[in-house]
Amino acid sequence: MERLLVLARHGQSEWNLKNLFTGWRDPGLTDLGVAEARAAGRRLKAKGIRFDVAFTSDLGRAQRTAALILEEIGQPDLPTIADAALNERDYGDLAGLNKDDARARWGKEQVHLWRRSYDVPPPGGESLKDTVARVLPYTMREIMPRVMRGERVLVAAHGNSLRALVMVLDGLTTETIPSLELATGVPLVYHLNADTTVASKDVLDRDA
């Protein structure tokens, strides 16, 4: 039994390029983001990886990334389940603001606290802790049972929603998870043991 779980952050978005807080806003992928998603699919195909089901968020940049990956693998019609539980962290009042402008308005230390602390939310938004509390129950209910019965599962989502999963899979703490960065368009390939612990992890980065 394979117990395969692949996590992929969406390719670069238009707001990633502009250095804007994005959150639940829904900008599209840049040309580079499209290329990153396609490259992710090619690297997975080169490893002989195919899927039984895909999960993604309610946001277009993650859904398009999933579609591009599956197109490259040769599975464009794979069943794909979209749910807001996998959405990016909600940045609240920061959404749409340039990160440098936010630092000028609230101060570098305050913005760093909002971005990198585990449990301090920005005004009107979610902390990473809040995001974990949203993502993990959905994952335990909908995604992990499929993995554990041998289905090969792709999750195409966002930096913070995927950090919630990596935190559990890699055994990271509330002190270490805020510093973790997930690159756009780089699949993380997990094979799990029967007790849900990680048997192996492979990062299919751009040099793979």
What pLDDT, in 10s, does the model give residues 139-195? 999 999 999 999 999 999 999 999 999 999 999 998 888 888 899 999 999 999 999
Of the candidate CATH numbers 3.40.140.10, 2.102.10.10, 3.40.50.1240, 1.10.3720.10, the domain formed by 4-203 belongs to: 3.40.50.1240
In the predicted structure, residue 44 carries a pLDDT above the cut 60: yes
70 to 27, 39, 42, 63: CA distances (angstroms): 21, 11, 9, 11
88 counts as catalytic = yes
Mean pLDDT of 33-55: 97
Mean pLDDT of 28-52: 97
Separation between Cα atoms, residue 56 and residue 76, nearest integer Å: 14
Which is catalytic among the residues 36, 72, 88, 126?
88
Spatial CA neighbour of 164 closest among 131, 192, 124: 131
Q: Percentage of residues in the chain with pLDDT exceeding 90?
A: 92
Looking at every residue in the chain, the average pLDDT score rounds to 95
- Please, which pLDDT band fits residue 206 given cuts at 50, 70 and 90? low
The residues spanned by each domain of the chain are 4-203
Tokens 């299919």 correspond to: 204
What proportions of the chain, in percent to the nearest 5, are helix, strand and coil? 45, 15, 40
- Please, which pLDDT band fits residue 1 given cuts at 50, 70 and 90? confident
The residue with greater pLDDT, 176 or 68, is 68
67 to 73, 99, 122, 133: CA distances (angstroms): 10, 29, 32, 27
Q: What per-residue confidence (pLDDT) applies to 179?
A: 83
In the predicted structure, residue 73 carries a pLDDT above the cut 90: yes
Dihedral sign computed on CA atoms, order 74, 170, 19, 82: positive
In the predicted structure, residue 100 carries a pLDDT above the cut 90: yes
- Strands ordered across the beta sheet of 80-82: 80-82, 53-56, 153-157, 4-9, 188-192, 198-203
- Please, which pLDDT band fits residue 208 given cuts at 50, 70 and 90? very low
In the predicted structure, residue 110 carries a pLDDT above the cut 80: yes
